[in-house]
Structure 1
């Protein structure tokens, strides 16, 4: 790809000194680009150099991207072209693709925005303008501060306009001004005193009473009513479904998301790190149409099976379910970036499932490269995602081989592989156990125990369901103890 020269009339580059190459800035800026006298107009608070350093640093370091996406959402940039570049970087990062002037230029070209930002040449200029990528998060804080000041100026202008209205009522002006400023403060904070430093017990009691008055809260709909009643899963929860390989973790996770999206029509997302999308679709259709997976895999459906498929096709196709298969794996920050994009577009799912925890890629935050520390960091990160985006997150996890060496094969919390933090971070841990996994001739063949070994919101216990492996489906049996 050859570097592009600044675009012509009508784009964001023209007349914008921030879009000029380095040699065309500051004292070299032609007179037509220079700021007008202060008595002619006031330039909104901004820091062009900090914005450029942020975008340059993000092209140089994936670690810088990880830090910056926690500080900036994109709208904080003063230059529209800078916001376009930022969003393209975040999208590439979220897909696990490399970020550099070449890949970024291709992405912006696909979007039809490359001329609006000044061409590929400007992307190279951004990289060259960075003193060091290590300070990128510091520059991001500066960009956010300038955005806050611009918002404050805008709010002040609106308040002043209210006061200058000749027929304005003073009391109404003061009330409206206060409301505008409080609304501004809310946009800067994560919420009103989210940590509860100043919350009185009276406020908390009233909040509790309001929740109770809102009516019964059955929690997130699940295919198994007994387990749903036991867990009462709500936004912010991290639920771990753990078992040995082949025990039914993926089946259970997909069942939960399928039930939520297909049966209840609520948005859900299933992220698989070990199956192709075709395999997931095979399982989904097998479960919904009750067609053996083997027949689907062989593409040898009988007429009656096609008829069963035709009955469910419409509701499967209309289901707000996303099946995500990240090429090359994914990290927790990348999952967060994808959720943030969905949130910006008002497409955040009501629940997220990830299959499975131990093969999520570490992002370097586990100290010393120790595997236990890496898994600890992944588990904590997933809980933070559930809280940040206010959705329940369901995650499959492997159990260690020590279960197979005991006389009793029933799993325990201590069997969670490679990390004690998984148990600590989770709001609920469900251990999956099938006797016929170890003894095919067991009298309990076809049954699966979902053992609620940890449950912050209620009782622990066991829910027994029917495991129909050939249909990739777990059916309720109405047994709980």
Structure 2
């Protein structure tokens, strides 16, 4: 807008490019498809001068009504709004047309206008953020949430994508299929490490929100950790893996990882009653884990905005991101405060799906199940058992449940094996991974094995015992 204003200095002029504004409007006044191309990039508020704002809005009004756009029709539209003289009259419109350097560069002019507009909005947003910090009723957490939300909205407004012709998309999809063929594998995503499950899912797909749900002690944290270890230690790319552990501390989680990799009974880890052979395996496990691109955040009660900001920063710092694990969904809080927990969970799952799509990474979010499972004779979970919100099912690309018959035959109150010492299982317990929803693939059940004492899931068909 036509204001000489800045941050802390009224003599400073906010970012603007009047030449680009004039060239953009001149191209629109020349007709053709310029308005359609420009409208994908520029909004009225991106123009610095009030006159340019009104001219652009008049062009858009004509465009939306399907009427031709030229110097005469735009002048008539502005006259009807009693704004023609305010923008400089017909002579100024004529000057814009004559000053247009080359209409073929219209996208470049529009991009310059957008960039300056976003820079101005960033300045004004910074002022609002600074102002909120002086409000005694606003906590630091609330101020940070608002700041992150405002900056994120600006970033997304700049990177929003329009239509893309099917030809380049088809080429990229074909290349993915070709790569899978050349690998001799049907896995197009990140391998889970489990043959039956990979066969059903083709791996964990980029941009997918995967919900892994189970009753307490069924092993959902253990399976998610096994996914993460496989991605960080055994996947060919070895890209960074982010784990948001809202329940367990970093030390608890890494201690469990060491025991899983070393196949050391977790109860012996806690009480220090190691056997001689344990130390060598633990040292080897420690050596491998220390070099793995695994990153853990155990901050309590994170919001989706905070998670997205942290994951985005991790990806930028390390040049990639293979997987994000969230343990678990019901311990998160929404971006906005609400007394309606169902609505809050719905907002959380939508935001997690948005994070998966923005970062192009699979997000595995753990979830609790309602107690309704325990009331049925067949205790295999169903989609209706997802706790607190049907929106979880709607937002998820994949929903998986864990079911283990021996859980009910030998049940204890141990959440993810955090209870008292237990006997070693000589063979793994059969565990069903029920794929109850898959947006782009089949549903069904994969069977894997679970060593409770190691918190380790294994492939059954190719596993050798003893």
TM-score bracket, shorter-length normalisation: 0.5 to 0.7
Which of 220, 229, 241 lines up with 1:249 in the alignment? Answer: 220
Residue 430 of structure 2 is matched in structure 1 by: 447
Tell me how far apart the structure 2 counterparts of residues 458 and 52 of structure 1 sit (CA, whole Å): 45
- Residue 203 of structure 2 is aligned to residue 212 of structure 1: no
Taking the TM superposition and a 5 Å limit, the aligned residue runs for 1:193-342 are 193=162, 196=163, 199-216=164-181, 218=187, 219-232=189-202, 233-264=204-235, 265-326=238-299, 328-342=300-314
Change (3 A) 1:477 1:192: same
Q: 1:236 to 1:52 in 2, by over 3 A?
A: closer
Instruction: Report how many aligned residue pairs link the two structures.
Output: 327
- Could you list the per-position Cα deviations for residues 76-129 of structure 1 after superposition, in whole angstroms to 9, with x for gaps in the alignment? xxxxxxxxxxxxxxxxxxxxxxxxxxxxxxxxxxxxxxxxxxxxxxxxxxxxxx
Matched, 1:468 2:451: yes
Q: Cα 1:34–1:205, aligned 2, differ >3 Å: closer, same or farther?
A: closer
Change (3 A) 1:205 1:255: closer
> 2 CA distance for matches of 1:324 and 1:475?
26
User: Which whole-Å CA distance do the structure 2 matches of 1:394 and 1:477 have between them?
Assistant: 23
Q: After TM superposition, give the deviation of residue 190 of structure 1 in Å.
A: 2.2
- Find the counterpart in structure 1 of residue 151 from structure 2: 72
Q: Which residue of 2 aligns with 1:76?
A: none
Pairing 1:56–2:130 present: yes
Please give the alpha-carbon distance, in whole angstroms, between the structure 2 residues aligned to 1:454 and 1:56: 45
* Contact 1:226 1:478 (C-alpha < 8 Å) held by counterparts: no
Superimposed CA distance per residue, residues 357-399 of structure 1 (whole angstroms, 9 cap, x where no aligned partner):
111122326xx52111111111111111101111100011111
Q: Is the alpha carbon distance of 1:310 and 1:438 closer, same or farther for their aligned partners in structure 2, counting shifts above 3 Å?
A: same
CA root-mean-square deviation: 3.1
Does the C-alpha gap of structure 1 residues 192 and 440 become closer, same or farther in structure 2, counting only changes over 3 Å? closer
User: Residues 212, 375 of structure 1: CA spacing in aligned structure 2 closer, same or farther, 3 A cutoff?
Assistant: same
Give the whole-Å Cα distance in 1 for the aligned partners of 2:171 and 2:319. 32
Alpha-carbon contact 1:398-1:417 (below 8 Å) kept: yes
Runs (5+) with no aligned partner, structure 2: 15-114, 412-426
Distance in 2 (CA, whole Å) between partners of 1:188 and 1:422 is 26
* Alignment of 1:363 onto 2:328: no
Q: Deviations 1:221-257 (Å, cap 9, x if unpaired)?
A: 2121210221122110111110001111111111110
User: For residues 205 and 280 of structure 1, what CA distance do their matches in structure 2 show?
Assistant: 41
- Supply the distance in 2 between the matched residues of 1:437 and 1:221 (Cα, whole angstroms): 27
Q: Retained in 2: the 8 A contact 1:436–1:445?
A: no
| Counterpart for residue 394 of structure 2 | 424
- Please name the residue that 1:373 is paired with: 343
Q: Distance in 2 between matches of 1:446 and 1:390?
A: 34
Specify the alignment match of 2:97 in structure 1.
none
Residue in structure 2 matched with residue 179 of structure 1 by the alignment = none
Whether contact under 8 Å (1:239, 1:393) holds in the other structure is yes
Pairwise CA distance, 1:424:
0.8
Distance between the aligned counterparts of 1:382 and 1:220, measured in 2? Answer: 18
Instruction: Name the CA shift for 1:303/1:371 in 2 (closer, same or farther; >3 Å).
Output: same
1:200, distance to aligned residue in structure 2 (A): 4.0
Shift of 1:300: 2.4
Q: Point out the structure with max Rg over C-alpha.
A: 2
Secondary structure of residue in 1 paired with 2:151:
coil
Q: Is the 8 A contact 1:464 1:478 kept in 2?
A: no
**TM-fit CA distance, 1:478:** 3.0
**In 2, Cα distance between equivalents of 1:52 and 1:413:** 44
Q: Which residue among 459, 475, 481 is the counterpart of 2:442?
A: 459
| Selected match of 1:389 from 359, 377, 382 | 359
Q: Gaps (5+ residues) in structure 1?
A: 1-16, 28-32, 36-43, 74-136, 145-186
Q: If the length of structure 1 is used for normalisation, what is the TM-score? A: 0.62
* Larger CA deviation: 234-243 vs 272-281: 272-281
Q: Residue by residue, what CA displacement relative to the aligned partner does 1:31-64 show, whole Å, maximum 9, x if unpaired?
A: xx999xxxxxxxx977597265144046355555
